[in-house]
Chain A
């Protein structure tokens, strides 16, 4: 498992860094000024915890002042933090690189466990021709508002310029990505944000439970599977279900329990709208479920 801080160093080493990041030991943050000198032109920041053998959903603070960042760091029981300038997140990407095949899912706004948006999927094997799957209708997405310091839900498409931005980033960084993948010796998953000022910026690297998803188009059979809207819904007697479930970022334990319950009930296949590379899809596959799209 690669920690967030190790990921930052790897991105910097392979020339993939977009939004700049600094990795600090919490004990070395002695004053707010020790943070502000890192990014003297910036007024707002994001701070993330990082640990060796990372737990899921480690604490973070989004869109804060340097004073708030300092206070937060010293209230957390974490040894290592990553500080970055705050920048508006326009769209999110989950990327899987497996040798020649590269698959990405794009979602407007923030992509977390509660995501319900069907993503735009972009796949390539040669960096010249691409397969793109998009939902026709706008999707429910989450956008951060720095004026209210909250996330708001809206309906949006993945725009053409976003697909172009991702493909051009992929083409420009193909060699670096391959070197990073070779360094980790296997299939890797990368989470990226497109930041307004800095463009596409990798954030995390996954090396466990990473695989190229099944991209075949949904079948009519998928639409006949019972639909679950909540992890607390009574489970049907069926071998397959469709999921339209949203969970708060902090509810990954609920997801683990839900996945185990699905298996115990004899459900073998799950159809998801919200991304085959999503955290939810990973957890479901880890429990042995087959995960497809609908």
Chain B
């Protein structure tokens, strides 16, 4: 089955937790890049490639990201972050996408049980991108310039930002035109919404294009990460 990410519920037992979480975020009014969710074998079935072409015509971004969504990751007890595949910078062509899904994504999905899907998502051109950890009283953000994946890939962040007790502290490599306060305001507001939505400490991957925060992924933080935030702050 193919489903475009909208404000409807995507049950995790059909689509995996990543897709279900993105649909939840979108339904709550957060900005999520446009995405198509497909299940194993869907893109090779006749008729569905036309749907892909039509959907791609509505996507503004030049590149797409392909992500695995499974039911045994992104839960409160286990994040399994990085245990499934994400492919970035895939050209926005039906042929490239179909080949990448069939040859790389579906073999990974085959190794998982329960609900699962492939998310095909417009790749945001980011001024800053990174990860935010939000719990009840504090926020910690790490980000890198002009990248959505550098922080999660383990590169030293260009920006580290913490918020607590009514104050914000930034440590950053100066680059002109990075709107710190605007970024901080947007991240603080958006991650608070995600926290309320999940009713749990959350790990949020985000991209900022200078005006808008896009939520790329969100998952509950496992206990280990919450303790680390407390130590860092």
Contacts and interface: CB of A to CB of B under 8 A. Distances in A.
Contact of A217 (B169, B170, B174, B176): B169
Contacts, number: 61
Interface string A218-233: 1010010000000000
B173 A129 contact: yes
B166 A135 contact: yes
Interface of A: 118, 128-137, 157-160, 163-164, 167-168, 171, 217-218, 220, 223
Interface of B: 163-174, 176-182, 184, 188
A203 to B, nearest CB: 25
Contacts of A164: 176-177
A160 B186 CA distance: 14
Contact of B180 (A132, A135, A168): A132
A134, A135, A157: most-surrounded residue (chain B CB, <10 A): A134
Contact of A134 (B173, B177, B181): B181
A129 B171 contact: yes
Given A168-B176, A218-B165, A130 B171 contact: yes
B182 A132 contact: no
5 contacts: A133-B167, A135-B168, A136-B166, A160-B178, A217-B169
Given A159-B181, A160-B180, A218-B165, A129 B170 contact: no
Given A135-B168, A136-B166, A167-B174, 5 more contacts: A118-B167, A135-B166, A136-B168, A160-B179, A218-B167
A158 B182 CA distance: 11
A220 B166 CA distance: 12
Residues of A contacting B: mostly: mixed
Contacts of A157: 181
B232 to A, nearest CB: 11
A157 to B, nearest CB: 6
Given A136-B188, A160-B180, A160-B181, A130 B174 contact: yes
Contacts of A167: 174
A160 B171 CA distance: 15
B188 A132 contact: no
Nearest to B181: A160
Nearest to B169: A133
A163 B182 CA distance: 12
Nearest to A133: B169
B170 A130 contact: yes
A282 B175 CA distance: 32
Nearest to B162: A217
Contacts of B167: 118, 133-136, 217-218
Contacts of B184: 134
A104 to B, nearest CB: 13
Nearest to A120: B181
A223 B165 contact: yes
Given A134-B181, A160-B181, A163-B180, A129 B174 contact: yes
A132 B172 contact: yes
Given A136-B163, A136-B188, A223-B165, A131 B170 contact: yes
A129 B169 contact: no
Residue among A133, A137, A168, A220 with the highest chain B CB neighbour number at 10 A: A133
Nearest to A123: B171
A171 to B, nearest CB: 8
Nearest to B183: A160
A133 B168 CA distance: 5
B231 to A, nearest CB: 14
Contact of A137 (B166, B169, B171, B174): B166
Given A159-B181, A160-B181, A218-B165, A131 B171 contact: yes
A247 B176 CA distance: 37
A218 B176 CA distance: 28
Nearest to B171: A131
Given A128-B173, A131-B171, A168-B176, A160 B166 contact: no
A188 B119 CA distance: 57
Contacts of A137: 166
A158 B188 CA distance: 17
A134 B168 contact: yes
A218 to B, nearest CB: 6
Contacts of B180: 132, 134, 160, 163
